[in-house]
Structure 1
Amino acid sequence: MGLLRLTSKSELDRVIRGSRFALVVFTGLACPACEMYKPVLEKLAELVGKDMPVVEYVVDYDPEPALELGIMGTPTTVVYVDGKPVEGFVGAVDLPDLLEFLAKVASKSDKQLAEKLEKLAEKVKPLYGGLYW
Structure 2
Amino acid sequence: MQYKSSVVDDIDKLLWKKAVELAARDKQPKCCTVNYAPGYVVRGSQLKNAIYGCKVAFVMFFGKTCPYCQMFDPIFRQVGERYKDLANFVKADIEEFYQLAASLGVMGTPATVAFVDGRPVELAPGFMTAPQFRSFVEGVLRYVGCR
TM-score range relative to shorter protein: 0.7 to 0.9
Could you say which residue in structure 2 is the equivalent of 1:4?
Answer: 40
1:60 corresponds to which letter in structure 2? Answer: E
Matches within 5 A, 1:91-102: 91-102=126-137
Aligned match for 2:59, one of 24, 27, 35? 24
**Identity of paired residues, percent?**
31
Does structure 1 residue 90 correspond to structure 2 residue 122?
Answer: no
Paired residue secondary structure (1:108) = helix
The count of residues paired between Structure 1 and Structure 2 equals 111
Paired residue secondary structure (2:144) = coil
Aligned counterparts of 1:84 and 1:62: Cα–Cα separation in 2: 16
Aligned match for 1:71, one of 98, 106, 117? 106
With structure 2 as the length reference, what TM-score do the two structures score?
0.69
Aligned counterparts of 1:46 and 1:105: Cα–Cα separation in 2: 16
Q: Any runs of at least 4 consecutive aligned residues in structure 1 with deviations exceeding 3 A, and if so which?
A: none
Aligned counterparts of 1:108 and 1:50: Cα–Cα separation in 2: 16
Structure 1 residue runs without a partner (length 5+)? 114-133
Aligned counterparts of 1:108 and 1:49: Cα–Cα separation in 2: 17
With structure 1 as the length reference, what TM-score do the two structures score?
0.76
Q: Cα RMSD over matched residues?
A: 1.4
